[in-house]
Structure 1
Amino acid sequence: MHAAESSVSEADSIPVSPARPSVGAYAAVLAECSRLLGERTAAQLEALHDHLLREVQGAVRETYDALRSDVFSELLRTLRQHGPVAAEAFPSHFQRVSRERMARSARSPATSRERIGTRVELSLLDDKVFSESLAVRTQGHILASPCEDELSQLRARVARMFDEDAVDEMRNPLAPEAVAEALKHACWTLECSDAAREALFIQATRLLAPTMPQTYRALNEYLDERRVLPRLRPHVRRDRVRALTRREAAPGATADLVKRLVAPASSQGASPPVGAQGGNVSPVVLDALARLQRGEGEVELGGERFCVDVAAAETMNVLRALLDAGLARQVGALDRVVIDVVATLFDLIFDDERVPEAMKGLIGRLQLPVLRLALVDHDFFSNREHAARRLINALAQAAATWDGEVTTDCALYRVAEPLVQRIQSAGGSELGAFVDALRRLETFLAEQDRIADEKAATLTTALSAREAQEIARGIAAARVAPHVVDERLPVTVRDLLRDWWSAVLADAALAGGEDGDAWQDALATMRDLVWSVQPKSGGEERQRLVRMLPGLLARLRRGLDDRRMPEAAREAFFAALVRHHAKAIKNDMQAPTTAAPAVAAPVASPQAIGHDGLDELHRGDWVEIALEAGQRRAVRLSWVSPARTLFLFTNRQGARALALTRGELARRFERGEALLIDDEPLMDRLVADVLEAYRPQPAGATS
Structure 2
Amino acid sequence: MNEAFEPPKIVPLAPRLDTTGERVGELLNAVRGIAGKRLQQCLGNLFEHVDDALFDLAEKAENNATQTHYFDGMREVRKRRPAIERSFLATVNRELGVLTGRAAPTASAPAPAMAELSLVADAELEESLAITSMSSKHESRLARDLFAINQRLSVICGGRKIDEAGNPVAPAALSQAFRQALKELGADMRVKLLIYKLFDRYVLSTLEDLYAEANAELARAGVLPQLRPVAPRGAGAAHGSTQAVAQAGGAAAAGAGMDELADPAATELLQTLHSLFVARRGNSPAPLPRAGDAGGPPPSTNELLGALSLLQTQLAAGAMPAAPSMAASVGSLERDMVTQLKEQLLGQLGALRGARPSHVTSIDEDTIDLVGMLFEFILDDQTLPAEMQVMLARLQIPYLKAAILDRKLFAHRQHPARRLLDALAEQAKGWSPESDRDGRLHDKVKNIVDLLLHEFDDDLGIFERLLLDLQQFHELNRRRSELAEQRVAESTRGREKLEQARRRAAREIVDRIDGRKLPPLVHEVLARAWANHLVLVLLRQGEDSAEFHDGLRFVDDFIVSTRPVQDTAARQQLRHLLPGIERSLRQGLANVAFQPQDIERLLAQLRDWYGQQLGEPARDAAPAASAVAAIPESILPIVEQHAEEADELPGESVPVATDSAEWQQVEALQPGIWLEFQLPDEPMVRAKLSWISPMSGRYLFVNRRGLKVADYAPQELAVLLAGGHAQVLATSALFDRAMSAIVSRLRQPGTADPNADIE
TM-score (norm 1): 0.48
Larger Rg: 1 or 2? 2
TM-score (norm 2): 0.45
